[in-house]
Every structure is written in structure tokens, then in C-alpha cells.
Amino acid sequence: LRTEDMSADLKLARSSLDRIIREQIHKYAGIFVAKKLSLSYEGTDATVLTDEKWLGFVIGQILSNALKYTRTGGIHIYLKNSPVRNYVSNITPTTPITLVIEDTGIGIRAEDLPRIFEKGYTGVNGRDDNRATGIGLYLSNKIMRKLGHRLYITSTEGKGTKVFLEFSVEDLNMY
């Protein structure tokens, strides 16, 4: 319900992506241990213009799904194509920062992928798992769009899933 009108609750600021990620990893640490899954995350010094609470919700939802559908192996969190500031000319490239959360889980069937962001859609995996509601990815995608970010997913059934959270490197211009 709170995502219907997030504007009153948004607090956009340059935020440490590393801090947000680590808070969510800490939240799910017990599940990593209980399921004996590995976690690969080396940290990042990237900052993004976002709302920490809402982005934390999205990252937590993605980790929750990865943990739910991963039985062996683990989860790898990393930045893809991280832009590097040119300190000589003090220019930051316009390439977006993309956070990848990759798992070695059961994957998503190709026929389910186009519908994973639909409200209430659970797909084959969700029907097999009685805990799935079809709300998590729907809300995550909605929140990411409202924050001016992008969420997309690739997956191979039986091999795992990659979730991409893309952040613009340019500040918003307010007039």
C-alpha cells in the first residue's frame, strides 16, 4: 500500500551502496549459514542517488528470492561495468552503475521470464513453492521505477538467476 504514494516518504540522497547491501546481507546471514550457501561480495565504494530505505527493501527482496530458490552453491554480488571517475578532468562517465545479484538456484523458466514483474504472477516455481505470492518482484520493479532506477533479470532454468539493479550516475536536476 505504501508504494501507491511513495512521494511523501521519499528521502533522496547520495548513499553508500555498500552500506545498503551489507545491511541486507546481515539481515539474511542466518539463512546463508543454515542453508550452507556461500556468499561472494567484496564491497564497493560506489554511491548512488536513491532512497536508502526503499532500495534496501528491493535488495532484501532479491536476496530473499535468491535464498529461497538456491539449494546449493551460493550468491555472488558485484558491480558490472562500474564507472570510474577521471580525476584528471574530473568527469564521471554516463555509464550507469549496475549491481548484479547472481545465484546458483533453480532458475526461472523461459516462458515465465516475461511475466515475473506482473502483480500476483508466481510462475511454475512459485506454484511449486507454497510461500510465493507474486508480490515481491512486482513491488521491487515498481519501487525501482519510482526511484528512477531500472531492474531486469536474466535466468537459465537449472543454472541460476542474475538480477540487475541499474542506477544512473547523473544527479537529478530540480527546477
pLDDT band at 130 (very low <50, low <70, confident <90, very high): low
Average pLDDT (66-82) is 92
Question: What cell does 38 get?
Answer: 556461500
Residue 175: the pLDDT is 43
- SS3 string of 24-78? HHHHCHHHHHHHCCEEEECCCCCEEEECHHHHHHHHHHHHHHHHHCCCCCEEEEE
Q: What's this model's pTM, rounded to 2 decimal places?
A: 0.86
Report how far apart the first and last C-alpha atoms of the chain are (Å, whole number).
Answer: 29
SS3 174: coil
Percent of the chain topping pLDDT 70: 80
Is the confidence at residue 15, as pLDDT, over 50?
yes
